[in-house]
Amino acid sequence: MQLYNTLSAEERAQLIDEAGKQRLTLSFYAYAKIEDPKKFRDDLFVAWNALDALGRIYVAHEGINAQMSVPADNFEAFRDTLEVYDFMKGIRLNVAVDQDDHSFLKLTIKVRHKIVADGLNDATFDVTNKGVHLRAKEFNQILEDPNTIVVDFRNHYESEVGHFKGAITPDVETFRESLPIINEQLKDFKETKNLVMYCTGGIRCEKASAYYKHQGFKNVFQLEGGIIQYAKQIKEENLESKFIGKNFVFDNRLGERITEDIVSQCHQCGKPCDNHTNCYNDSCHLLFIQCDECKTAMDNCCSTACLETTHLPLVEQVKLRKGLQVGNKVFRKGKSENLKFKHSGELSDVSLAVVSKTKDIHQKIKVKKVLVGKTDHYYVKAQVGLFTIEKQELNIGDKILISGPTTGNQELILGKMFVNGQEASEAKAGDKITFELPFRVRLSDKLFKILN
CATH code of residue 86: 3.30.70.100
Q: Which helix (H) or strand (E) covers residue 166, if one does?
A: none
Tens digits of per-residue pLDDT, 148-157?
Answer: 999 999 999 9
Residue 305: pLDDT over 70: yes
CA–CA gap between residue 160 and residue 294 (Å, rounded): 19
Query: In this structure, what CATH number is given to the domain that contains residue 224?
Result: 3.40.250.10
Mean pLDDT of 389-412: 88
Catalytic residue among 199, 205, 279, 284: 199
The reply to whether 244 and 126 lie within a common domain is yes
Q: What is the pLDDT of residue 367?
A: 58
pLDDT for position 9: 81
Cα separation, 11 vs 105, whole angstroms: 9
User: Are 325 and 284 in contact, with CB atoms under 8 Å apart?
Assistant: no
Q: What is the pLDDT of residue 361?
A: 37
CA distance 68 to 75: 11
d(CA 193, CA 213): 13
The pLDDT of residue 362 is 37
Of 32, 31, 17, 225, nearest to 133 by C-alpha is 225
How far apart, in whole angstroms, are the C-alpha atoms of residue 444 and residue 14?
11
Summarised one tens digit per residue, pLDDT across range 218-262 is 999 999 999 999 999 999 999 999 999 999 998 888 899 999 999
Active-site residue flag, 199: yes
Same domain, 234 and 281: no
Percent of the chain with pLDDT over 70: 94
Per-residue pLDDT for 1 more than 90? no
* pTM tops 0.75: no
Residues 282, 429: one domain?
no
Domain count, the chain: 4
Q: What is the pLDDT of residue 351?
A: 93
Owning domain of residue 373: 367-450
Q: Beta 399-404 vs 446-450: how paired, if at all?
A: antiparallel
Alpha-carbon span 157 to 308, nearest angstrom: 26
Do residues 127 and 207 touch, judged by C-beta distance below 8 A? yes
Same domain, yes or no: 152 and 240: yes
